[in-house]
Amino acid sequence: MAAGGVVTAADETAAAAGVRPGMRRREAETLCPAAVTLDADPAAEAAAFEPVVRAVEEMVPRVEVAAPGLLFVPVAGAVRYYGGEQPVVDRVAAAVAGAAGPGAGIGLADGPFAARAAAGAAGPGPLVVADTAAFLATFDVSVLGTAELADTFRWLGITTLGELAALPRAAVASRFGPAGLEAHRVARGEDRRVAPRRVPDDVFVEERFDPPVTGLEQAGFAARALANRLSGVLGPWGGIPHRIHIEAEAATGGVRSRVWRSADPFTEAEVAERVRWQLQAWVEGGGIPGGIARLRLAPADLSDRGRQLRLDQDGVSEMEARRAVARAQALLGPDAVLGAVPQGGRDPGERVHWHRWEEAPGPPERDPAAPWPGRVPTPAPALVIPEPRPLEVEWEGGFPVRVRLGSRWEPVLAWAGPWRRTGRWWKGEEPADRYQIVTSAGAFLCEVAGGRCLLAGVYD
């Protein structure tokens, strides 16, 4: 079977002649002239694979399909239930053999990457890996799947996953970037067990069909539309899922669901494709009598890849961010690059405790929990003028009526206050009254002290 001119699968006869997946089509035809090359049809493969998935699913819930022919089975729960890894593996093997006949590769290890490698390395019987890191150590770096990265590693003398795993994490991060970091994780047998970002349970997209969808073409359209909406919901900052939960309700009422997973986060097109394959498998297998009345997609395991920043998890972006801030500091000096934390105080300016960005904030100068009588209420003015400047205000009977903004006088539409700050008389400070003054050009925070009016902030 071939896709894009490359062999994706070969039957026993062809394999005996030396045909291997990944080979160019012409090369394969030279080795085995009698071979019939078929174009890969993943949807048909998914449909053919469906009975296997269902057989395993009956024993272990929450299985995840990665590709037609590749199924991940999370066994943590099943191991407890069946009392050991071997009984679980034996049962899965029996189920697969019952549904598809012998010849399946079955492996058990920590994490999907190692499990897949174990399945590939398994003989006729299942392979249970006890020590995942040790098992992976002998593998060539090419199994990482990124040719470019593997070549770089090899060029540096790192040929096996064991050698890669032995490198310090920070060094890999700084030299190879996010891809290297991920490879390093995989090589250490820590394949994405670093708690993926949780998705709130209520994030999903759903579509109801009336009349129900019965044709495959229609189902393909629905899949694409829903995949598009899903990526809209996740948004430009929301990340992309590693797993996708597909749920379909039949016109007669039954609900089927299936999880598809991928080592790489799904793109919108890939989501659409998986949904289409799954729907085809269900429809052709008679799993959805009467057609699809409702279809729902829910993402899981959001990846941070594809976004600019992965600071929570990713040392590389964090370093980039730090470097960017350091550059700004080099240009402006450390006192111009600031962080801030809230603290107590009566004036908006007082309630911000500044610190140099790279340094931890010191203890707050003013207790945030104290009552601070006379404090100006929220919202905070977005602009706070450190040295309040004179503001011309016209008063009538103690009420502000006009404010001079630049060259024009603006009538005061509304005002609130005053909030009084009793000055520290022992330091010679006068009490000040603060007013919020609203004009058609915006709202301002003014301070009146000793008969003078000052502009202290702008509610911009």
Q: Which stretch binds other proteins (CB under 8 A): 22-30, 304-312, 364-372, 423-431?
A: 304-312
370 binds other proteins (CB under 8 A): no
Asked if 201 and 174 touch (Cβ cutoff 8 Å), the reply is no
255 binds other proteins (CB under 8 A): no
284 binds other proteins (CB under 8 A): no
229 binds other proteins (CB under 8 A): yes
Q: How far is CA 224 from the centre of its chain?
A: 21
- Print the binding letters for residues 372-401 with other proteins: x by CB under 8 A, - otherwise: -----xxxxxxxxxx------------x--
Binder among 77, 125, 236, 411 for other proteins (CB under 8 A): 236
Angle in degrees, CA 85, 89, 92, rounded to 5:
140
Binder among 206, 264, 359, 429 for other proteins (CB under 8 A): 206
| Cα 107 to Cα 376: distance, rounded to the nearest angstrom | 66
| Cα 428 to Cα 442: distance, rounded to the nearest angstrom | 33
Of the two residues 126 and 457, which places its CB atom closer to other proteins in the complex?
457
Q: Which of 73, 70, 263 is nearest to 182 (CA)?
A: 263
Identify residues 414-433 at the interface with other proteins (CB under 8 A): 414-417
Of the two residues 148 and 312, which places its CB atom closer to other proteins in the complex?
312
- DSSP string computed for 407-442: TEEEE--EEEEEEEE---GGGTPPPEEEEEEEETTE
Of the two residues 133 and 380, which places its CB atom closer to other proteins in the complex?
380
Binder among 292, 421, 436, 446 for other proteins (CB under 8 A): 436
Residue linked to tokens 């998914």: 46
Identify residues 114-173 at the interface with other proteins (CB under 8 A): none
| Cα 411 to Cα 439: distance, rounded to the nearest angstrom | 6
Of the two residues 100 and 328, which places its CB atom closer to other proteins in the complex?
328
Long-range contacts of 131-138 (CB under 8 A, 24+ apart): 132/189, 133/162, 133/165, 133/188, 133/189, 135/109, 135/189, 136/161, 136/162, 136/165, 136/186, 136/187, 136/189, 137/161, 137/162, 137/165, 138/162
234 binds other proteins (CB under 8 A): yes
Of the two residues 156 and 441, which places its CB atom closer to other proteins in the complex?
441
332 binds other proteins (CB under 8 A): yes
Identify residues 342-361 at the interface with other proteins (CB under 8 A): 342, 348-349, 351-352, 357
